[in-house]
């Protein structure tokens, strides 16, 4: 059974959307990720630790003029957060794009993300 909930994921996605316009905000990823967290986007190699996660996000979103996400978050029976999302963006060069998918997020006792895995729709 899936239940809807407000979570650290809401803060995380909001931070990502804002950081595209305010790059200094990438330094605030420590407010949502545990120090030894792991992030994996699709088939890319996993990234672990706050420093590498911050570097990954800065690189992944470089060249973006704007990004906007919409999402629904639920909790599956094992406690994992399941986040269904759609992201749309405009690059610095003016190209438009969009992608949907599902994020699976584990959170520690302090409410910080310890693991975030993104599966793109249709993957």
Residue 122 binned pLDDT confidence (cut-offs 50, 70, 90): low
- Euclidean distance between the first and the last CA atom of the chain, given in angstroms as a whole number: 23
Q: Scan for tokens 């407010």, then name that residue.
A: 31
H/E stretch holding 84:
strand 81-91
Judge contact between 71 and 99, C-beta under 8 A: no
Answer yes or no: is pLDDT of 5 > 50: no
Q: What is the pLDDT of residue 121?
A: 79
Judge contact between 91 and 97, C-beta under 8 A: yes
CATH 3.20.20.70 fits 3-120, yes or no: no
> For the chain, which residues make up each domain, given as ranges?
3-120
pLDDT tens-digit map of 8-52: 999 999 999 999 999 999 999 999 999 999 999 999 999 999 999
pLDDT tens-digit map of 51-68: 999 999 999 999 999 999
Polymer length in residues for the chain:
123
């Amino acid at each position: 059974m899936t239940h809807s909930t407000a979570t650290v994921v809401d803060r995380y996605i909001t931070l990502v959307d804002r950081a595209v316009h305010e790059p200094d905000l990438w330094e605030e990823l420590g407010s949502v990720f545990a120090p030894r967290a792991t992030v994996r986007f699709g088939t890319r190699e996993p990234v672990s630790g706050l420093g590498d996660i911050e570097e990954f996000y800065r690189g992944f979103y470089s060249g973006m003029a704007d990004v906007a996400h919409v999402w629904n978050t639920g909790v599956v029976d094992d406690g994992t957060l399941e986040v269904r999302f759609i992201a749309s963006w405009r690059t610095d060069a003016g190209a438009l794009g969009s992608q949907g998918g599902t994020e699976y997020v584990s959170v520690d006792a302090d409410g910080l993300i310890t693991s975030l895995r993104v599966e793109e729709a249709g993957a």
